[in-house]
Amino acid sequence: MPRKAHNGLLDKLPAGVCARLAPHLQLQELPVGKVLYEAGAAQNHMYFPRTGVISLLYSLESGDTTEVGMVGNEGVVGAALVVDSHSTPAHAVVQMGGQALCLKADVVIREFNRGEEFQILILRYTQVLLAQMAQNAVCNRYHNVEKQLCRWLLLYMDRMQSDHLAVTQETIAARLGVRREGVTEAAGRLQQAGVIQYARGRIRILDRQALELRSCECYRAVKQEYERLLSNMPWSTLAD
């Protein structure tokens, strides 16, 4: 593994831990639609995305799904491995194609059980992800579709590091758990205000500052939690 893995978590680890993990990291392609794990099924790998976006989805018996979390190169998918819970009620699907560095379950558990930097990093990110899930639940309950859409676009932009998004209104509606018509109306208002440009399944963000102003506090809350827990690690002031 190069000293910079281009994943926000792996890049925070000290050089010694990186060297220990390097022989076990496997680079995998993440094509759109790939299921990284199913709900209720065993999780065999931990994925550290370098590019792309993974949606964590919860499905109802009716077949309806809602996105409960979103992971890009700031995080990791498969953290349930470290709590001896190889399955979760949600499933993980690649929303935007990319690449990830993967670790097999036995390597993850062995490194985590050392009780050192890797453990601290995964636990802190798990707290961030739980905060994101809780904030999503509050947002979907109390905020209108336009605010939800702005929050979702901002989170997506941060993980893609681009102002061009290839995503349909149907997909956004499914991820937010709202009617497509509501997304269409909200996107239309944003376009009329000069905040976004939308055509044929492609969205271009024209004014990020305006998008943030139109979003609810949920986006800022999630971002602040990430920065609070992961911007400065306990070992960051020490030389590798």
pLDDT for 16-73, tens place per residue? 999 999 999 999 999 999 999 988 888 899 999 999 999 999 988 777 788 999 999 9
pLDDT surpassing 80 at residue 86: no
Closest CA to 37 of 54, 12, 60, 18: 54
Question: CB of 128 within 8 A of CB of 226?
Answer: yes
Report whether pLDDT(238) > 60.
Answer: no
Could you tell me the pTM of the whole model? Answer: 0.91
Angle between helices 145-160 and 169-176 (to 10 degrees): 110
Percent of the chain with pLDDT over 70: 94
Instruction: Quote the CA–CA distance of 31 and 134 in Å, as a whole number.
Output: 28
Report the alpha-carbon distance of residue 19 to residue 2 in Å, rounded: 9
Label residue 214 by pLDDT band (50, 70, 90).
very high
Nearest to 175 by CA among 149, 150, 198: 149
Domains present along the chain, CATH in parentheses: 10-116 (2.60.120.10), 144-215 (1.10.10.10)
pLDDT of residue 239: 45
Share the mean pLDDT of the chain.
91
- pLDDT value at residue 192: 97
Amino acid 240: pLDDT: 44
pLDDT single digits (tens) 109-154: 999 999 999 999 999 999 999 999 999 999 988 999 999 999 999 9
3-state secondary structure (DSSP) of residue 71: strand
Closest CA relative to residue 200, chosen from 173, 165, 176: 165
Distances from the Cα of 176 to the Cαs of 54, 103, 140, 183, 232, in angstroms?
15, 30, 7, 9, 32
Strand 91-96 vs strand 53-59: parallel, antiparallel, or unpaired? antiparallel
Note the pLDDT tens digit of each residue in 59-82.
Answer: 887 777 889 999 999 999 999 888
CA-wise closest residue to 108 among 71, 73, 82, 75: 82
Q: Give the residue, 231 or 145, on which the prediction is more confident.
A: 145
- Whether residue 39 contacts residue 87, with contact meaning beta carbons closer than 8 Å, is answered with yes
Query: Do 195 and 89 meet the contact criterion of CB atoms below 8 Å apart?
Result: no
